[in-house]
Amino acid sequence: MGESTKIAVARGDGIGPEITAACLEILEAAGARLQIQEIALGESVYLNGEKSGISPDAWDVIRETGVVFKAPLTTPQGGGFKSVNVTLRKTLGLFANVRPARSYAPWVQTKHPEMDLVIIRENEEDTYGGIEHRQTDEVYQCLKLITRPGTERIVRYAFEFARNTGRNKVSCLTKDNIMKLTDGLFHRVFDEVAAEYDDIESEHLIVDIGTARIADTPERFDVVVLPNLYGDIISDITAQLTGSVGLGGSSNIGETIAMFEAIHGSAPDIAGRGIANPSGMLMGGVLMLNHIGQSDVAEKVHNAWMKTLEDGIHTGDIYREGQSKQKVNTKEFADAVVERLGEKPESLKPVDYSEVTAVAIPPVTRTPKATKTLEGVDVFLDWDQGSRDPNTLAMALEEANGEKLELTMITNRGQKVWPDGAPETFCTDHWRCRFLNQGPPGSNLHQREIFALLERIDGASLNVIKTEFLFRFGEDRGYSLGQGEGTKTTRVPVTV
């Protein structure tokens, strides 16, 4: 028998305490080698005036144990209360969200009885930084940030996860036909990392058709790695496809800390009645046991739990007349799983975790520095004059412009409206005006030239709302082109 592992346990809100008690009963009976330290998270902490929902001493326990087994929490509406999940995820750098989605048909009704996949979602980047702005009367923006180190770590984690859990294929879904730089980076890094794992099959799909295929034939997928937003959406879809969101567990993995839980929430509507299904949190527990190197116990728990399902012993949420044999409450369900520890399911495929090893956390790899040259600037304006004719705006901008830069393009919502715009294009009050370096080959474009341009634009009573500097990194252009751009002029990059 190996050493015991210290874990932090949060009993949570709503049905949390009931399902936690049931899960701990099962884990203990299965011989899990755990030293439990309880922490307070959620409602009781919010009510004590701590807006993060995390008690100050909980941080110490989480850092000391490095493993959190957490019941669902209720986030109070309004009042500036922050979601504990989001705070823990961001503060502790829990970069990977892992959500297995397996069907247990016919015991849980589903149209996809063969599905057994794992979603690995990047957890910290993308549009989830909360960097949003209102820029004009009509336009709001949200910044999408994809980093090379963040992408490399999640993709590598997905391949390591596949290898360590005996899975054969990793699929990656992005929209890089549209977002060529951000999603393009995710796809490119995926291809680079995939090349290092020749024992594992890899594929990339555009996210729209990829999602359609997951919804149609989820059994053809194994491990799926995704940027944050697509992962958030698709992991709920895959949980639903299994027939019940209530049975899914998930983990949030960081470099030194990992958190395990059910997918579902605190179910206040049935709290205190002792009827909740503890399976989601129990499956979180199975992920935890594999993570801390107790795969023997994980296998025992998972198989006994499937045998219980198969014997028709069901809580109310999955109970079906004719199919189920006995409707049980939370405690009775846990007792039934305990009785079956050591047994294997007969109709469902038993799990075999004998080869499963803890997934090593890939280190963050820093990106080598490239020569960075400044080639121009996109100036964004709030402009709402007359009939919003882009030709009028272009004339005003050309008048304000100096010698170093040339106005090459104006777009509205990314659609080119000058030069050669179409009269049908709908224009908001938000204009992106591109200026590119006109200096002779080898001449430098300095930031001060851009600041001088901005002053002149301001002097012309045009309202600048933001700028984006246009860089080249080595040979690579660091900005997207508008339609028809980059075809007629070859610009020579100049060093900053």
Please choose, from the candidates 338, 263, 337, 261, the residue with its C-alpha nearest in 3D space to the C-alpha of residue 306.
337
Cα-Cα-Cα-Cα torsion 248, 252, 258, 262, nearest 10 degrees, comes to -20
- Range in contact with ligand NAD (rule: CB under 6 A) among 45-53, 176-184, 265-273, 424-432: 265-273
CB of 367 to ligand NAD, least distance (A): 33
Among 23, 73, 119, 289, binds ligand NAD (CB under 6 A): 73
In the bound complex, what is the minimum distance in angstroms from residue 17's beta carbon to ligand NAD? 12
Report d(CA 123, CA 475) in Å as an integer: 31
Residue 488 CB partners (closer than 8 Å, separation 6+): none
In 3D space, the residue among 249, 327, 320 whose CA is nearest the CA of residue 290 turns out to be 249
Contact between 40 and ligand NAD (CB under 6 A)?
A: no
Query: Nearer Cβ to ligand NAD, position 79 or 414?
Result: 79
Residue 252 touching ligand NAD (CB under 6 A): no
Q: What share of the chain is helix, strand, coil (3-state, %, to 5)?
A: 35, 25, 45
Minimum distance from residue 431 beta carbon to ligand NAD (Å): 40
Residues 11-30 contacting ligand NAD, CB under 6 A: 15
Shortest distance (Å) from residue 291 CB to ligand NAD = 18
Nearer to ligand NAD, 14 or 376 (CB): 14
Q: Which of 3, 196, 269, 424 binds ligand NAD (CB under 6 A)?
A: 269
Please enumerate in sequence order all residues whose Cβ is within 8 A of that of 147, keeping only pairs 6 or more positions apart, or say none: 125
Q: Looking only at residues 79 through 138 of this chain, which bind ligand NAD when binding is defined by CB under 6 A?
A: 85
Residue count, binding to ligand NAD (CB under 6 A): 19
| Residue 273 burial (CB count, 10 A) | 13
Shortest spacing between CB 41 and ligand NAD, in angstroms: 9
Partners of 38 in beta bridges: 9
Among positions 270-329, residues that touch ligand NAD (CB under 6 A) are: 270, 276-277, 280, 317
CB of 261 or CB of 429, closer to ligand NAD: 261
262 vs 417, which CB is nearer to ligand NAD?
A: 262
The amino acid sitting at 473 is F
Identify the residue among 116, 261, 296, 449 touching ligand NAD (CB under 6 A).
Answer: 261
The verdict on 464 binding ligand NAD (CB under 6 A) reads no
Of 83 and 447, which CB lies nearer to ligand NAD in the complex structure?
83
Nearer to ligand NAD, 65 or 266 (CB): 266
Asked if 160 touches ligand NAD (CB under 6 A), the answer is: no
Rg of the chain over Cα atoms, rounded to whole angstroms, equals 27
Return d(Cα 120, Cα 101) in angstroms, integer: 11
Can you tell me which of 37, 44, 75, 480 binds ligand NAD, judged by CB under 6 A?
75
Closer to ligand NAD by CB, 77 or 387: give it. Answer: 77
CB-side exposure of 226: number of CA atoms within 13 Å? 25
Residue from 20, 74, 211, 324 that binds ligand NAD (CB under 6 A)? Answer: 74
Do residues 92 and 254 touch, judged by C-beta distance below 8 A? yes
C-beta of residue 170 within 8 angstroms of C-beta of residue 221: no
Please enumerate in sequence order all residues whose Cβ is within 8 A of that of 80, keeping only pairs 6 or more positions apart, or say none. 51
Q: Are 101 and 115 a contacting pair, CB within 8 Å?
A: yes
Is 265 near ligand NAD (CB under 6 A)? yes
Task: Give least dist CB 267 to ligand NAD, A.
Answer: 4
Position closest to ligand NAD via CB = 265
Q: How far apart are CA 103 and CA 113, in angstroms?
A: 5
Q: Tell the residue number behind the tokens 């109970």, with chain if given.
A: 319
Of 32, 94, 155, 267, the one binding ligand NAD by CB under 6 A = 267
- For residue 345, whether the previous peptide bond is cis, meaning omega lies within 30 degrees of 0, is no
72 belongs to the binding site for ligand NAD (CB under 6 A): yes
Query: Does position 264 bind ligand NAD by CB under 6 A?
Result: yes
- The total of other beta-carbon atoms located within 10 Å of residue 322's CB is 6
Contacts with ligand NAD by CB under 6 A lie at: 15, 72-75, 85, 246, 261, 264-270, 276-277, 280, 317
